[in-house]
Structure 1
Amino acid sequence: MKTILITGANRGIGLALTKVYLQSGWHVLATCRDPLAATDLNALSATFPELQVFALDVTNFDQMTELSEKLAPVAIDIVVNNAGIYGPKGYAFGETDIEAWREVMEVNVFATMRLAELFYTHLSNSTEKIFAAVSSKVGSHTMNTKGGGYIYRSSKAAVNSVIKSLSNDLLVDGIRTVALHPGWVQTDMGGAEAPVTPEESAAGLYSVLSHFVDAQSGGFYDYKGDAIPW
């Protein structure tokens, strides 16, 4: 049985990914900040004994270290850092909240790097050896034709850069990395008007990761498997 670790698994894309991998026979290590409040996630345990739920605030690096040590004997085939935040919306040039920017960078970027460092050994001991981060096409410099959104855009561009550098460093060890655009998804972040359901996004991401090859390592792909320009 293969194993995947998914952060932010209590709702939205993370919960949908958890369901897809459980239904496909995987052992899922699902994390969220408050497992006791993760009703929908915990309900899956009745059907899927392969599910384990752990408390993890991805900005609490001591807690992340403790979890990596607790799971030290476990070979983890795929690590997906899905946890993330958008930050402020609707602000204009000259109105940027620097403290909010720091928080978004800590959640979206710093946590991605620390997760890769702490679960490197777990990935090395596995078969698939994939480290993935949920990014967004708004982090693409090429596709940025509207401006604005400085905080979220810059955090996802930074995540993409981390993924690319990790590939340069880790592919020699067999660990492949990828930045994933899940689509505009009907989540608390994406809103009800988004055209993609969490289930559609998760099914697509599952397919991308299932067919992922070394030549794609360090790349940026959407949930349909199409490459996104930097």
Structure 2
Amino acid sequence: MMRFYTINIKKTVDFTIIGLATLTSLTALADHTSRVLPLQTHAAFFSSESQQKIPLDPQVFVAAPTAPAATGPQGIKHIAGVRNALISDMPELPIMNATGKSLDMTLKAWLAGQGDVVLTNMPNGTQKVTLILTHLYPHGVYSVFENHFDQKPVGFTPLDGNGTANKFVSDGEGKANVTIISPSPLTHDNAVLVIYHSDGKTHAKLRGDIGVDAHHQLIVRP
């Protein structure tokens, strides 16, 4: 069950956010009610939502010499010789994209990403979304999108609405603190989605080529 915390902030206060094994101190500068939501790996979220018999990551792959070329569970086509990474695979396995290009990290490193999202409604009807992230790919290029589960198929838009302020680069330790203004408050019809760009480029209003140069890493649904 997803848990969240409600914080009523009446002045500048220091508060501690406890998420997926992360402990981060923030200073809040708003007279509003904030919710703190722990992110989870997209692999775990997708596997649960789609009721995969064997939990997997639909957007990263591992070597499998006998595997044929195929189309994965999110419609991502991959070459022969690779398969979708399983959450239960050996942690030290190198991961790659759907074309077999190395992502320069292990499955353990990929699944280690974690963090929290702080949602704060603003007086003008917008929502401040603060992400506190750790164990990302060092100096990795990321963007933050919004899922629209009320659309069929599920839609995706930049969290800032136009794709100009939704990107960031993690530091040398794989950490990042990011604040983005969402044009309207997020509901359970939405999710905050952290996307890793393995080509080192963001794609404005688009996510990129999913499974090739763009990979969903973390997500939370309010």
Is TM-score (shorter-chain normalized) higher than 0.5?
no
Larger radius of gyration: 2
TM-score w.r.t. length of structure 1: 0.27
More strand by share: 2
- When normalised by structure 2's length, the TM-score is 0.28
Q: Which has the higher helix share?
A: 1
